[in-house]
Amino acid sequence: QVQLQESGPGLLKPSQTLSLTCTVSGGSISSGAYYWSWIRQHPGKGLEWIGYIYYSGNTHYNPSLKSRVTISVDTSNKQFSLRLSSVTAADTAVYYCARTYTGSYSSVFDNWGLGTLVTVSS
């Protein structure tokens, strides 16, 4: 069973860059069936898809964050990463990485990391 684990700083100051890494274990990050997503959840709120990456490096981002987001992949270390620049308090959230299966009538998040809380505060 594939497992995902987020890692990175939990506290940032406004204007800094958020950097998180997701490590994949128990499966291949280079499997053609899957994309690799970042999703966030503001405290007590719903879920927001940030974007995803294919093992080849192809990406797709949420337009609401596109100007500040970069997702990259390191297949040799089975990791993919999120960078979000110029953070503000509005970026305070739990950040999840998730495996994304894309098939017939489905692009779904079928495996998730535990999530990591990132707080932006001066």
Partner 1 sequence: DIQMTQSPSSVSASVGDRVTITCRASQGISSWLAWYQQKPGKAPKLLIYSASSLESGVPSRFSGSGSGTDFTLTISSLQPEDFATYYCQQANRFPFTFGPGTKVDIK
CB of 41 to partner 1, least distance (A): 9
CB of 122 to partner 1, least distance (A): 27
Q: Establish if 67 lies at the interface with partner 1 (CB under 8 A).
A: no
Q: In terms of CB distance, is 36 or 96 closer to partner 1?
A: 96
The sign one gets for the Cα dihedral 21, 24, 30, 31 is negative
d(CA 29, CA 10): 25
Q: Establish if 119 lies at the interface with partner 1 (CB under 8 A).
A: no
By the 8 A CB rule, do 12 and 118 touch? yes
Q: Establish if 17 lies at the interface with partner 1 (CB under 8 A).
A: no
Q: Pick from 67, 76, 106, 122: which binds partner 1 (CB under 8 A)?
A: 106
Q: Distance of alpha carbon 72 from its chain centroid, rounded?
A: 10
d(CA 15, CA 21): 20
Q: Which residues bind partner 1 (CB under 8 A)?
A: 46-49, 60-64, 96, 98, 101-102, 104-110, 112-115
